[in-house]
Amino acid sequence: MSAVFQTRRALVEIPAPQPKIAARMRRSYLEILSARLAPSPLPRGKNTKRVQSLDLSIGGLWSGGIEEHCEKMDEHHTPLSKPQLVQLIRSLILVEQSQEPRILASDLKYLQEDLQQKKANVYRSIPYSRLGSNRDAHCYRKAYPHLVAFKVSCQEWGQVLLRNKEWDAVLEHTMMAWRYTSELPQWDTANHNILREQCYSILASHSLTALQHYHPETSRGHELLRRLKTAQLYSQSIVPCIQELQRIMGCADDSSMDTQ
């Protein structure tokens, strides 16, 4: 007698999944934004040049320009050379200055915070967990980009003040940046300290240019002369500024005696 097999039925039949109702679906913010930026189809017979220009101004400018630069960066993986690195840092600072250069440069507190941040970045980049000296060539290579950023900051902000013809602010910026420059690390190799001397030369050049257009009052002149002589202890690059200020103060004293 053959056994009879019967198929077992499931107690509960699971229904097939129903499609979601589009009206009840919540779209994300990016989906809504992309839908708004997407070009809408034109009716038949209309000119399509208008839509192409709008697409370039909204979507094409973003996707085309950025993706093109990204593709170029993906194709070339070569590291930046020193001139390219300097130019990159200079461009970043100029972009930052292009926002409101006159307002930012007039606020010496902002410039002081910028120099202090640049100097702090130099010391943060130096590895201190070393058995040897932390002022050797290896540590200098780690700190080199931040040293260049400090130098470019001194140069560019001073030039902004000179273009604004804020002569007294140029002198104050020089004294402030001179102190931060003196606090930079002293490296074991003499050639690695060239960036420090370059900062001194740049700041001294800015001060000399300001003194050629600015004749301070007697009290202000004596104060600047005292501070310039203190700065001479760190570098002799400030000597032409001291001589120029002494000439100005001497002329001022002679003119005051003539008036009496």
Predicted confidence (pLDDT) per residue in 134-182, tens digit: 889 999 999 999 999 999 999 999 999 999 999 999 999 999 999 999 9
Say if residues 228 and 215 touch (Cβ distance below 8 Å): no
What would the pLDDT profile of 72-116 be if each residue is shown by its tens digit? 444 444 566 666 666 666 666 655 555 545 555 557 888 999 999
Q: So where are the chain's domains?
A: 102-214
CATH superfamily of 102-214: Tethering factor for nuclear proteasome Cut8/Sts1 (1.20.58.1590)
Amino acid at 66: I
Query: What is the rounded radius of gyration, in angstroms, for the C-alpha atoms of the chain?
Result: 33
The pTM for the full model equals: 0.60
What would the pLDDT profile of 1-52 be if each residue is shown by its tens digit? 555 555 555 555 566 665 555 544 555 545 554 554 454 454 454 444 433 3
Least reliable range by pLDDT among 7-11, 185-189, 205-209: 7-11
Q: Is the dihedral of CA 16, 19, 25, 30 positive or negative?
A: positive
Displacement of CA 85 from its chain's centroid (Å) = 12
**What b/e sequence results for 156-192 when a residue is b if at least 16 CB atoms lie within 10 Å of its CB, and e otherwise?**
bbbbbbbeeebbebbbbbbbbbbebbeebbebeeeeb
